[in-house]
A and B are shown apart, each in its own frame.
Chain A
Amino acid sequence: MLAGCAPKGLYNWGSYSQATNKYYRDPAQQAAYREALQGVIAEEQGQRVPPGIYAELGYLEMAAGNTAEAKRLFLAEKARWPESGPFMDRMIRKIDDGAAAAPSAKTAPATS
């Protein structure tokens, strides 16, 4: 179509939309989804990373047990987008509480 007229968006989303859709339909597509998020971040070099991308990747890392990387990404989201501050703080607290709770969980075996 009229490529010259297509307005340029605020952000480059790369393959974010397609990868998200595929991941929703099939959890086995998580690797491609992760790569799409990493691709958007690499492409935009910090200044123009769209809302939510650092956080989405951080949540994948958190779920995979990579808590240090998750924290780094949640802090990156907060630095890039101050609006995310309260939510990111809450997630970082969750990681810190989990890390503090983990040793005691080992010493107290589940009774159920």
Chain B
Amino acid sequence: MNATQWVRLIGIGLLAAGLAACAPKPPPLPTYPASIGAPPRSILVIPVVNTSTEVEAADAFLATLAVPLAERGYYVFPTTMVKRVMEDDGLGDADMVHAADTKRLAEIFGADAVLYAKITDWNSRYIVLAVSTSVAIQYDLRLGSTGHTIWQENTHFTHTVGPQNSGGGIIGALVAGAVAAAIERAAPAYVPLASMANAQAMLSHQSKLPPGPYYKAPQQ
């Protein structure tokens, strides 16, 4: 056995050990109750209602929703196109769309289910010398045929950037805090945080969202 083969073998061994170590037995997947009838195959994501103070949050968050729902195994209607088509049909206002009849919305697009998402927090707070960014989302999936809720979840994620221990006295700490604030402003952590919220709600082992028809257990 030459050196290359050894390296390869060690690599395979490490990989196998790593996989074994980080593959806990997943809990059983949630399922829809039989009472809802045929489980939904497709999800229409409608524009997001935003009660936070950040005006741009709704669109930024809408852009994060298709991927986790598709990865959960659903057909997801093209979110950007749906938004534009709704605007053309006079349904440009998210509050109005959320107030509309679910059955009618589902019928227009031929969707089995409709996802209502609401942002309740999307904020960066300057706390002493650090910046704390948080997002909070309410998800509500309704069945197109009845309008009844078949899954709902509330998530809240916070991310803090700031000097852990600041050398250089109070001035140094203030500078570090200001730098942290500038970083958060320049590259807001909102979208990554929102993506984490989605993953927790829809893709994690804790998720109560039953998988869709195209779901496959993650391959290691």
Query: Contact at A51–B218, with CB atoms within 8 Å?
Result: no
Q: Give min CB distance, A57 to chain B, whole Å.
A: 9
**A83 near B41 (CB under 8 angstroms)?**
yes
Cβ-neighbour of B77 out of A5, A9, A87 (below 8 A): A87
| Interface residues on chain B, number (Cβ under 8 Å) | 39
Query: Digit string of B15-45 for contact with A (CB within 8 Å is 1, else 0)?
Result: 1001100110000000000000000011000
Which of B18, B70, B79 contacts A2 (CB under 8 A)?
B18
Q: Enumerate chain B residues within 8 angstroms of A83, measured Cβ to Cβ.
A: 41-42, 75, 110, 112
Which residue of A4, A7, A23, A50 is within 8 Å of B15 (Cβ)?
A: A4
How close is B86's CB to chain A, nearest CB, in angstroms?
A: 12
Nearest residue (CB) in A for B217 is A7
A-contact bits for B54-89, CB 8 A (1 contact / 0 none): 001001101110110011011111111100110000
Within 8 Å of chain B (Cβ to Cβ): is A41? no
Distance A84 CA – B78 CA, assembled complex (angstroms): 9
Interface 1/0s, chain A 56-94, versus B by CB < 8 A? 101100010000000000000100010111110001000
Q: Which A residues lie within 8 Å of B151 (CB)?
A: none
Q: B109 CB to closest chain A CB, in angstroms? A: 5
**Selected contact of B216 from candidates A10, A51, A55, A85, CB within 8 Å:** A10
Pairwise interchain contact A56-B80, C-beta atoms closer than 8 A: yes
Q: How far is the CB of B40 from chain A (nearest CB, A)?
A: 10
Asked if B150 CB lies within 8 Å of chain A CBs, one says no
| Distance to closest chain A CB from B70 (angstroms) | 5
Whether A56 pairs with B78 at a CB distance below 8 angstroms is: yes
Cα distance A86–B18 in the bound complex, in angstroms: 46
Complex Cα–Cα for A51 and B191 (A) = 21
Give the CA-CA distance A23 to B81 in the complex, in Å. Answer: 13
Residues of A within 8 A of B (CB): 2, 4-5, 7-11, 13, 16-17, 20-21, 23-25, 50-53, 55-56, 58-59, 63, 77, 81, 83-87, 91
